[in-house]
Amino acid sequence: MNRRIFLIRSSVFLLSYQISQIFGRTLFANKKKLDEKKFIRVLFFKGKTLPAELGIKERDLNSNSNSSSRKQAIFTIDEENPIVYKKVKYSGKIIIEKNKEKFFVINEIELEKYIAGVLRKEISYSWPKNAIKAQALAARSYAYNFIEKNNNKAYHVGVDTSYQVFGGIHGVHSNITENVEKTRDLIMVYRNNPIQTFFHASCGGITEKAEDVWQSDKKLRYFKNIRCPYCKTHPLYTWERSFKKELLESKIAAHISAKKIKKITILKMSYSKRIKLLALKPASGKSVLMTGNEFRRVLGAKSFPSTKFTLSKNKNDYVFKGKGFGHGVGLCQWGAKTLAERRNSYTSILNFYYKSCRITSIKKHAHLKAKNLKRKGSIL
């Protein structure tokens, strides 16, 4: 064979082999990436009657063979023609289930798309990239905690403040989706367990311990009282609210089933100067104790920004002077924004607010969890 022809054929063969290797690796990587996608089931409606805007009737649901009181239907909604409920667009897999007398409408979506849909409601797309990345990791860790905890239930999370506010996956700004993608699969763990990464808008100068907000015996040791001078630019870093005596007392009285409230006394404060416990003295009978968190809920979180306040009373009004917006536990969003503007990395921001925690991937965490379960099984 002519030497030149042999070299040409050899070069063609080598090039073909290299191309096949590259495409083979790409296809394998894409398949691997597809296989490793995580999904989350998001409950966006629960009630006795299906919303008309869903366009689905009860007769469209199939009976579950195991239970006459349980029915279910699964639909795939195209992204170009999403269903809209309470101004939020939903597409992908929609699961409608009737259990006894209640309907549950659930959207199963890719976890990363869900995280982007949370961030669009939590922070601005114009914020620095490291603030967005820190928030993405906090939101993903929080969600994955519920995925593990509620894995055998019909849904993992809801769409309101009981979990994380979810604004849908449609029309999310590219600055959010790109930075969510750059932290794909990453979560925070404490002693190899995904942490409950609570976050809030502004801590008012110092963050709070979880047990001092929710009065829990379970101490989440990664939440500390962190001095945070970085959220002073938040509009509610300092605030003042006045309530007419009659209005406030009637609200509180109705909540504790009393006719009238004579006196409100602060009994106990936390280290961060947030109200832990109040005594409410009705017109007759014994005083009723109420936590600061419950007191805030009764008056309304929007009109009453936090439990970090002082209380005074004049002839006609109760006057509250306070700091911060939100419960104060975990990541201070506006503090994270300032830290990112000062060129701090998203990892250093997270380490500042969540103590003794580390960042890992969901894949590594799942592998370690399976390994530990296998080890426990072999011991038994």
Instruction: Return the structure tokens found at 71.
Output: 């029915």
pLDDT at residue 378 in the model: 55
**Full domain range(s) for residue 162:** 39-184
pLDDT at residue 70 in the model: 73
User: Are 176 and 292 within one domain?
Assistant: no
The answer to whether residue 204 sits within a structural domain is no
pLDDT at residue 51 in the model: 86
User: Are 54 and 155 within one domain?
Assistant: yes
User: Are 251 and 165 within one domain?
Assistant: no
User: Are 52 and 161 within one domain?
Assistant: yes
Burial-class residue 51 by CB neighbours within 10 Å (0-12, 13-18, 19+): middle
pLDDT at residue 31 in the model: 41
pLDDT at residue 217 in the model: 64
User: Are 52 and 123 within one domain?
Assistant: yes
Asked if 261 and 251 touch (Cβ cutoff 8 Å), the reply is no
* Integer-rounded Cα radius of gyration of the chain: 26
Last residue of a domain, one of 274, 305, 323: 323
pLDDT at residue 30 in the model: 43
The answer to whether residue 137 sits within a structural domain is yes
Last residue of a domain, one of 284, 307, 323: 323
CA angle (17 as vertex; 11, 20 as ends), nearest 5 = 140
pLDDT at residue 176 in the model: 97
User: Are 175 and 53 within one domain?
Assistant: yes
User: Are 166 and 247 within one domain?
Assistant: no
pLDDT at residue 323 in the model: 97
User: Are 170 and 252 within one domain?
Assistant: no
pLDDT at residue 238 in the model: 97
pLDDT at residue 68 in the model: 56
Last residue of a domain, one of 300, 323, 346: 323
Name every residue whose Cβ is closer than 8 Å to that of residue 81 and which is 6 or more positions away in sequence.
91
The answer to whether residue 215 sits within a structural domain is no
Query: How far is 3 from 1, CA to CA, in rounded Å?
Result: 6
Side chain identity, residue 289: L
The answer to whether residue 14 sits within a structural domain is no
User: Are 156 and 243 within one domain?
Assistant: no
> In residues, how long is the chain?
380
The answer to whether residue 33 sits within a structural domain is no
- For residues 120-143, b (16+ Cβ closer than 10 Å) or e, as one string? bebbeeebbebbbbbbbbbbbbbb
The answer to whether residue 367 sits within a structural domain is no
What pLDDT digit, counting tens, does each position of 173-200 carry? 999 999 999 999 999 999 888 999 999 9
Q: Residues 290, 291, 296, 297: what is their CA dihedral angle, to the nearest 10 degrees?
A: -80
pLDDT at residue 40 in the model: 95
What pLDDT digit, counting tens, does each position of 203-260 carry? 999 999 999 998 776 778 999 999 999 999 999 999 999 999 988 988 899 998 888 8
What pLDDT digit, counting tens, does each position of 272-281 carry? 999 999 999 9
User: Are 167 and 247 within one domain?
Assistant: no
User: Are 54 and 175 within one domain?
Assistant: yes
The parts of the chain modelled with pLDDT lower than 70 are 1-36, 63-69, 217, 376-380
The answer to whether residue 262 sits within a structural domain is yes
The answer to whether residue 232 sits within a structural domain is no
User: Are 73 and 172 within one domain?
Assistant: yes
Name every residue whose Cβ is closer than 8 Å to that of residue 287 and which is 6 or more positions away in sequence.
265, 279, 280, 281
pLDDT at residue 301 in the model: 81
- Number of folded domains in the chain? 2
